[in-house]
Structure 1
Amino acid sequence: MSLTYTLVVNGEVYGEQSSLNAYQFASALIEKGHRLVNVFFYQQGVTNGNGLTVPANDEFDLVSAWQQLAAEHGVLLQTCVAAALRRGVVGQQEAEQHQLPQSNLADGFEQSGLGSLAESLLSQDRVVQF
């Protein structure tokens, strides 16, 4: 039986394991035939959407991995807009709204509110938090 999933990622992109664990879990559930609808990045997890992240040559590029997963499987990558703004992850619309000189939200990510997460909690079969 195929299930629909939302993942909630609270861990920062580098420096701890939870974001990588979330990515590996996402890949595994898709491989098993389940549908990952969206990944909601919250708290420190919004750093996964920072388009200016440059990992060392010998490190796994997690931002690119999320982008590729989303592009190949139609997964929504949503960063909590309030948490993102507090941590300097800014989309184009927010940059214009707050009169900032640029945005740095990675391609394939969108900023969203907690209402989107609440909707996912009600509409997906499973929600898993990392």
Structure 2
Amino acid sequence: MDFAIALLAGPQDPAARSALEFSRAVLAAGHRISRLFFYRDGVLVASQLNVVPQDEKDIGAEWRQFIQDNHLDAVVCIAAALRRGVLNPAEAERWDRPAANTAEPWELSGLGQWVDALQSADRAVTFGT
């Protein structure tokens, strides 16, 4: 079975952990994830500048590692990212900002990527509101 998974909640929201655990379970069960789409506050997971307290797990780092380890397509909604200050090097340069705070494995792209994933996946699952 082919899954498209969207995360709309930020890294501090329990939905971010639930989405990650669900994604791990999908792959462990032998299914496929065609695309992970990060939207609304979910784009904050892609920021490399988030600092978490020492007694908490870094959900952004866990997502990055999971995506890299499994060679997954991870798309961050560019409109939501720009609104929240999540920039890759190209967007930082385009908008004349002093630095970028995201890079591989995240791809900044439009909402059309989510629509495309919905058309090809067997199941779509969304976490957060």
1:101 corresponding residue in structure 2: 98
- Gaps of at least 5 residues in structure 2 are none
Give the deviation of 1:110 after TM superposition. Answer: 1.2
- Gaps of at least 5 residues in structure 1 are none
Q: Is the 8 A contact 1:10 1:129 kept in 2?
A: yes
Question: Are 1:69 and 2:66 counterparts?
Answer: yes
Give the deviation of 1:106 after TM superposition. Answer: 4.4
* SS in structure 1 at match of 2:34: strand
List per-residue Cα deviations over 1:34-74 (Å, max 9, x = no partner).
Answer: 11122100011111111111212221111111111111111
Question: What is the alpha-carbon distance in structure 2 between the residues aligned to residue 106 and residue 91 of structure 1?
Answer: 6
Instruction: Report % sequence identity.
Output: 35
* SS in structure 2 at match of 1:111: strand
Q: Where do residues 1-130 of structure 1 align in structure 2 (5 Å cutoff)?
A: 3-14=1-12, 16-130=13-127
Question: What is the alpha-carbon distance in structure 2 between the residues aligned to residue 68 and residue 36 of structure 1?
Answer: 15
Question: What is the alpha-carbon distance in structure 1 between the residues aligned to residue 20 and residue 68 of structure 2?
Answer: 14
* SS in structure 2 at match of 1:52: coil
* Structure 2 length-normalised TM: 0.94
* SS in structure 2 at match of 1:122: helix
Code of the aligned partner of 1:80? C
- Aligned CA-pair RMSD: 1.0
Q: Is the 8 A contact 1:13 1:62 kept in 2?
A: yes
Aligned residues: 127
Question: What is the alpha-carbon distance in structure 1 between the residues aligned to residue 45 and residue 34 of structure 2?
Answer: 17
* Structure 1 length-normalised TM: 0.93
Q: Is the 8 A contact 1:6 1:120 kept in 2?
A: yes
Question: What is the alpha-carbon distance in structure 2 between the residues aligned to residue 120 and residue 37 of structure 1?
Answer: 7
